[in-house]
């Protein structure tokens, strides 16, 4: 599923970013990369732009960019699970 397919208030985990160089780096600088949690907050008219939340950052994306991000929607709706450590640096 793509980030652009999510509906308002849906949460998901990023599984792949199908972008190269510049765009990928830019997304990463906001923490939007594999393993990140995202939530769709709002869409503009015609879904031309999408507002998402990554961690506690609100981010605006164009649909074209959101289409390049593969996600896995969180199931079970409002179950609040503690965030898992994903490939964390050990020994901190």
Partner 1 sequence: MDCNSCDYNKVKKQKGIGEIKIALAGQPNVGKSMLINAMSGGNRVKVGNFSGVTVDKMEVCFEHHCHLFDLIDLPGTYSIDGFTKEEKVAKDFLVNEDYDVILNVVDSTNLQRNLLLTAELLELNKKMVVALNMADEARKDGIKIDLHQLQKILGIPVVQVSAKTGEGVDELLDKVHEIFDSQERAHSNIIYSDPLEEEIIKITKFLNERGFSYKDWTNREVAIALLLEQEKVYKELHDNPIMIELYPIIRDSLEHIYTHHETKDIKEIKAAEHASIARGIAMEVVSQKSQPKSLTLTQKIDSVLLNKYLGIPIFLFLMWGLFWLTFEFGNVPMEYIDAAIGAFGDFVGSHISNENLRSLIVDGIIGGVGAVLLFLPNIVILYIGIALLETTGYMSRVAFLLDGFFHKFGLHGKSFIPLVTGFGCTVPAYMAARTLKSEKDRLITLFILGFMSCGARLPIYVLFTGAFFSVQVAGNMLFLIYISGAILGLVMAKLLRVLVFKGEDEPFVMEMPKYRLPTLKLLWHTVYSNAVSYLKKAGTFILIASVAVWFASNYPKNEQLQQQYSQKIAKADAQEKVKLEKELKAKELENSYLGQIGKFSEPFFAPLGFDWRLSVALESGLAAKEVVVSTLGVLYSVGEVDENSKSLKEILRKELNIPIALSFIVFVMIYLPCFAASTVFTKEAGGFKYFIYLFIFTTVTAWVLSFVTYHIAKLIF
Distance CA 45, CA 59 (A): 17
Task: State the minimum distance, in angstroms, from the CB of residue 78 to partner 1.
Answer: 13
Q: Which residues, including other chains, have CB under 8 Å from residue 41's CB and lie 6 or more apart?
A: 8, 9, 51, 52, 53, 58
Tell me the site size for partner 1, rule CB under 8 A: 44
Task: State the minimum distance, in angstroms, from the CB of residue 1 to partner 1.
Answer: 20
Token look-up 């208030």 returns: 9
Contact 62, 39 (CB under 8 A): no
Among 56, 76, 78, 79, binds partner 1 (CB under 8 A): 56
51 touches partner 1 (CB under 8 A): yes
15 touches partner 1 (CB under 8 A): no
Distance CA 4, CA 79 (A): 23
Question: Which residues here bind partner 1, judged by CB under 8 A?
Answer: 21-31, 33-36, 41-46, 48-49, 51, 54-62, 64-65, 83, 85-92
């Amino acid at each position: 599923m793509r980030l652009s397919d999510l509906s308002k208030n849906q949460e998901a985990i990023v599984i792949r970013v199908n972008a190269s160089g510049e765009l990928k780096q830019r997304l990463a600088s906001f923490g939007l990369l594999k393993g990140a949690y995202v939530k769709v907050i709002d869409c503009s008219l015609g879904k031309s732009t999408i507002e998402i939340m990554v961690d506690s950052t609100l981010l605006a994306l164009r649909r074209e960019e959101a289409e390049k991000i593969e996600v896995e929607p969180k199931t079970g709706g409002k179950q609040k699970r503690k965030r898992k450590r994903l490939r964390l640096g050990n020994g901190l």
